[in-house]
């Protein structure tokens, strides 16, 4: 096994148990609810409990990982004689990646014989998680840290990221849609289809009427953009809407032969901004 550690953060929305099984350490972004002074790590609260609070009117605010936290974590690995390859949450949505980059710059001076490489995945949720998966597969093939980093840099804008939300109020809070659009859209049952662009930002692409149409539209994006239909890893994440995630997986399998490898929760840090009912699809495409 190559002597480097693949490292990530909790915005990848893969469970701590799965990351532990893969041997991937991570740093957790944090959140808190308005009126509650307790700051929670992304995995301190179950997704079900988190979304129950949101549905009851709770407003969650998130915080990035700071540079000192990354510095200490990376330094512990370097002291063990191992290098670090960090795959981080999109810089278009959080300062977390920049904190890791600054920590890496400082540590390179302290450990000139070791390597710390940071990659801005320009992705979020299981799209970031999918890149972690691909990095691990590359590492297992015997690739060096530089070869794996180059591979992920080449692949990251081929990870196609599409999603929909069930309630526009959460996008309104983040300034993604106007109050008028949110109100009218919810009254009429309008569901946005969004994706993450090459700068790692969320972009509103189109609108459809009704949830079932939104789910079917996500599946159609796979048919349009998948690099090789029926091959390659496909991930789905959801904000407390397991049945919709399973319906999407079934459509992908029946219509395109796609095998969804992972269905995971949209964790509190991402879910704070997208809300309950978020449904997202991630796959290797011909382009982002």
Of 156, 182, 212, which marks where a domain is finished?
Answer: 156
As a whole number of angstroms, the distance between CA 38 and CA 35 comes to: 9
- Tokens read off for 260: 């969804």
pLDDT at 70: 98
Residue 107 three-state SS: helix
Q: Which has more pLDDT, 92 or 172?
A: 92
Percent of the chain with pLDDT over 70: 93
231 — pLDDT class (breaks 50, 70, 90) = confident
Q: Give per-residue pLDDT as tens, 29-87.
A: 999 999 998 999 988 999 999 999 999 999 999 999 999 999 999 999 999 999 999 99
Please report the pLDDT score of residue 184 as a whole number: 52
78 and 117 in a single domain? The answer is: yes
| Strand, coil or helix: 271 | helix
Whether residue 46 is found in the same domain as residue 130: yes
DSSP three-state, residue 220: helix
Confidence (pLDDT) at 43: 87
| Mean pLDDT rounded to a whole number for the chain | 93
Q: Is 234 exposed, middle or buried (0-12, 13-18, 19+ CB in 10 A)?
A: buried
* Cα 274 to Cα 164: distance, rounded to the nearest angstrom: 9
Q: Is the pLDDT confidence value at 178 over 80?
A: no
Distance CA 264, CA 89 (A): 17
Residue 149 and residue 237 in one domain? no
Please determine, for residue 276, whether its predicted confidence score (pLDDT) is greater than 90. Answer: yes
Say whether both 147 and 164 belong to one domain. no
pLDDT of residue 106: 97
Which residue's entry shows tokens 């990870």?
Answer: 159
pLDDT score of 186: 63
Q: Does 257 lie in the same domain as 214? A: yes
Angle at CA of residue 162, ends 122 and 288, nearest 5°: 50
User: 140 and 170: one domain?
Assistant: no
Domain count for the chain: 2
What is d(CA 134, CA 285) in angstroms, rounded to the nearest whole number? 14
- Please tell me whether residues 53 and 25 are part of one structural domain: yes
Instruction: Return the CATH number at 72.
Output: 3.40.50.10170
**pLDDT of 74:** 98
Please give the pLDDT value at position 188: 62
Q: Are 151 and 195 in a shared domain?
A: no
Same domain, 18 and 152: yes
Residues 197, 241, single domain; the answer is: yes
114-139: per-residue pLDDT in tens?
A: 999 999 999 999 999 999 999 999 99
Domain end residue (candidates: 140, 156, 172):
156
**Structural domain range at position 84:** 4-156
- 94 phi and psi angles, rounded to 5 deg: -155, 155
Average confidence (pLDDT) over 255-267: 96
12 and 133 part of one domain: yes
pLDDT above 90 for 174: no
On whether both 255 and 213 belong to a single domain, the answer is yes
Tokens of 248: 């999407």
What CATH number did the domain enclosing 267 receive? 3.30.1180.10
Q: For the sheet containing 116-120, what is the strand order?
A: 26-27, 4-9, 83-88, 116-120
Query: Which of 113, 130, 156 is where one domain is finished?
Result: 156
């Amino acid at each position: 096994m190559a002597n480097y550690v693949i490292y990530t953060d909790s915005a990848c929305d893969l469970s701590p148990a799965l990351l532990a099984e893969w041997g991937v350490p991570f740093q957790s972004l944090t959140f808190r609810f308005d009126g509650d002074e307790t700051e929670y790590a992304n995995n301190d609260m179950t997704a079900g409990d988190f979304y129950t609070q949101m549905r009851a009117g709770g407003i969650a605010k998130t915080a990035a990982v700071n540079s000192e936290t990354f510095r200490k974590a990376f330094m512990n690995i370097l002291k063990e004689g191992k290098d670090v390859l960090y795959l981080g949450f999109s810089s278009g949505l959080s300062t977390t990646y920049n904190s890791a980059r600054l920590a890496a710059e400082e540590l390179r001076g302290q450990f000139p014989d070791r390597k710390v490489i940071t990659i801005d995945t320009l992705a979020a949720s299981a799209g970031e998680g999918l890149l972690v998966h691909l990095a691990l597969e590359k590492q297992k093939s015997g690739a060096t840290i530089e070869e794996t980093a180059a591979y992920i840099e080449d692949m990251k804008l081929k990870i196609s990221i599409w999603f929909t939300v069930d309630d526009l109020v959460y996008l309104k809070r983040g300034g993604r849609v106007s109050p008028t659009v949110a109100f009218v859209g919810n009254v009429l049952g309008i569901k946005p289809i969004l994706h993450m662009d090459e700068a790692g930002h969320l972009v509103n692409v189109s609108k459809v009427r009704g949830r079932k149409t939104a789910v079917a539209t996500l599946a159609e994006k796979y048919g349009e953009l998948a690099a090789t239909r029926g091959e390659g890893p496909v991930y789905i994440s959801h904000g407390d809407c397991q049945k919709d995630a399973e319906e999407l997986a079934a459509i992908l399998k029946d219509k395109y032969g796609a095998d969804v490898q992972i269905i995971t929760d949209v964790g509190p840090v991402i879910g704070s901004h997208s809300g309950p009912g978020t449904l997202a699809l991630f796959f290797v495409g011909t382009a982002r």
